[in-house]
Structure 1
Amino acid sequence: MTFSLPLHKAHVDEWDPEIKKYLGLAPGWRSVIAEDDKDAWFDEQLLDRE
């Protein structure tokens, strides 16, 4: 199951302070933050505007 959880920046520290390092990623980067997995990777397809 894939889902996203909207989270206001005011609540980041309450939810998971490690999220902060992912908020400044440049365009083209994806991230996953789950209970047992935190990762970021570049996905060039995100920049394809066609």
Structure 2
Amino acid sequence: MERIDKSDHESCAEEAPKAECELVEIGLKWLEARSLARVVEVSFQQVIDEERAED
């Protein structure tokens, strides 16, 4: 998945309907949250694997 940086994100064009713009914003927030959740999941799994390796 391609990373979306906030600095690269431009707000919706003025001619875009407000509802469409809101959907885009919600989608971007969802993708950001999903990406963060994956990072946390991988980090958590690494800790578990390291603990098991030490035992």
In the superposition, the TM-score normalised over structure 1's length comes to 0.30
More strand by share: 1
More helix by share: 2
Radius of gyration: which is bigger?
2
Higher relative contact order (CA 8 A, sep 6+): 2
